[in-house]
Structures are given as C-alpha cells and as structure tokens.
Structure 1
Amino acid sequence: MSKLINKNCIVFDIDAAEKKDVISVLVKELDAAGKITNQEEFFEDVLAREAIAPTYVGFDMGLPHGKTDHVLEASVAFARTAGPVVWNEETGETADLIILIAVPLSEAGDTHMKILANLSRQLMHEEFRESLRSSTKDQVFDILTEVLEG
C-alpha cells in the first residue's frame, strides 16, 4: 500500500462536541486531498457504519471507516482532539485519537483488512499511542506512514 496518509489529513486539537464533528473534519480533509468523490455522501456512509456499531476500539481510540464507491483511493486521516469525545454512546467511552479509514468498495476486503491489521499490531502498545498524542505533525506522519506500509 502506498501513500495511505497525506500530511494534510493529520489534524490536531479538534474542538468537537460529538464524534460526528470529528468525522466531518477528517472527511473534509480527505476531500481536499482528492481522496473521495463526494464529501457529503462519504460522511453519511461513515455515519451509517457508526450507527451499526460504534468504532471505539479501546485505549481512547476511534477507528471510523467507510468502504464505499465515494472513495477514489484508499486513505487514512488522523485526528487528535482537544479533549475526550464520546465515541461509544451506549457505554460513554471516549476517544481523543481518531483514525478514519477510507477504502474504495472495490478494494473493501483486502485493503481494509491490511490497514486494520497494520494498525492493530500497534494500537495495543501504550508507547505507540503516547507517541501519537505527543508528537509533532511531521512525526505523526512518519509514524503512521511506517505503520501503514507494514
């Protein structure tokens, strides 16, 4: 997988009241980077997936995703929020690190699973999560590029 993350799709200090606000910011960045075809439709696709089951994965992290025809190229966007945002409404669990995964429907199985596998190997490590919380934008870009390229 090549160039899954664009430096402009890394956003820090999002001041959001709800997870949909964080997702909206990340979708706008993917749109600006030319990774999706329709900002509103992709946003709705991601929210529809969240409605099935929240993408809270523990460790104060959310992994929203959209596997749709509105994605031109498999991509990842990253957010660090200004404060905790409720990511699982049923349990009240919050997230401050968000990784939005966007995958074309035609690549949904293989590409999506590779991205998740590469991220999952690292997400359980506190050192990795803390590096995402404390690093500069350039450092986060380098960290995620290394992880996503496996």
Structure 2
Amino acid sequence: MSQLINKNCIVFDMEGDKKDIIRTLAGELHRAGRITDAEEFFQDVLAREAIAATFVGFDMGLPHGKTDHVLEASVCFGRTRGPVVWNEESGDTVDLVILIAVPLCEAGDTHMKILANLSRKLMHEEFRDSLRKSDREQVYNILSEVLEG
C-alpha cells in the first residue's frame, strides 16, 4: 500500500475551518490525479462527516470518502497552522488531518487496512510528534512506511 500517498498530497500550514481543510486536501488529491472531481468528492466527505465527525482523538481528524469519484485508494496529509474545530458538538480540535479516499468498489477491505495501519501508530505520541515536526520528505517516508503495514 505504499503508493497510497503522493508527495504532492502533503500540505502544511493550512488555515480555515474544517470544510476549508477538507476542500484543500480534496483539491490536492484531484491535482494528483487520484480523484475525478474535487467538489463532488468534497461533498461525499462532508456527507460522511454529517453522520459523525471523524475526530479520532490526539488532535487528529481522519475524514474519508468511499465513492465512485475516487480513481485509486489514496491518502492526503494536512497539518494546520493552529487548532481547527473538528467536532462542533464537543469542541474537539485537530492540527493533523489525514483524508482517506477509497474507490467504492474496494471500500471495505482497503479502507479497513488503511485505518488499521494508521490506528496502530496514531496512539503513540512519538509518531504524532514526528508528523508535527517533520518536513515534507520525512512525512512522506513516515506515512509510506505506516501505510505499507
């Protein structure tokens, strides 16, 4: 699964609200040729967020879309300039976001593998700190290794 992340799909110093962050990351996936339509994918991700916010603790958000707009399973990493409210009801904030995009036809297995590989690492403060402090090349290498499982 190392091809899940593209070096161009790593964005630092993002600003704005939750929708701005998701829209920016969806745009990067589109520019990288991973999704067919940034706006449609963005809407799909927002529809999923409306069911339940994808705040996973540790100041991290894992929004995702499993749709026909995804050409190949991918992730896009974002680091915000400051805390962004991710769950309006609880006020939980994030500064790290990993947007997961999976084609509808392979949604179950691929999506679960990505989540399993990430969740094993996300609970470790050392891992999260490395994502906060590393440059683009380092983040790419860290996530590539994790996503390979």
Question: Could you tell me which residue of structure 2 aligns to residue 71 of structure 1?
Answer: 70
- How far the C-alpha of 1:38 sits from its partner, in A, is 1.1
User: Are 1:121 and 2:135 counterparts?
Assistant: no
Unaligned runs of 5+ in 2: none
Provide the aligned length of Structure 1 versus Structure 2: 149
Q: CA deviation at 1:121?
A: 0.2
Deviation at 1:40, TM superposition (A): 1.0
Deviation string 1:62-84 (CA, Å, 9 cap, x unpaired) is: 00000000000000000000000
Give the Cα–Cα distance (whole angstroms) in 2 for the partners of residues 102 and 112 of structure 1. Answer: 8
Check if 1:8 corresponds to 2:8: yes
Q: Distance in 1 between matches of 2:89 and 2:117?
A: 28
Question: Which residue type is aligned with residue 7 of structure 1?
Answer: K
For residue 15 of structure 1, report the CA deviation from its aligned partner.
Answer: 1.4
Instruction: Mark the runs of 5 or more structure 1 residues left unpaired by the alignment.
Output: none
- Cα separation, 2, equivalents of 1:145 and 1:93: 27
Report the TM-score when normalising by structure 1.
0.98
Distance 2:83 2:57 in 1: 13
Q: What's the C-alpha RMSD, in Å, of the aligned pairs?
A: 0.5
Distance (whole Å) between structure 2 residues aligned to residue 132 and residue 116 of structure 1: 17
**What one-letter code is carried by the residue in structure 1 that aligns with 2:3?**
K
TM superposition score normalised by structure 2: 0.99
C-alpha distance in structure 1 between counterparts of 2:39 and 2:27, whole Å: 9
- C-alpha distance in 1, partners of 2:119/2:2? 18
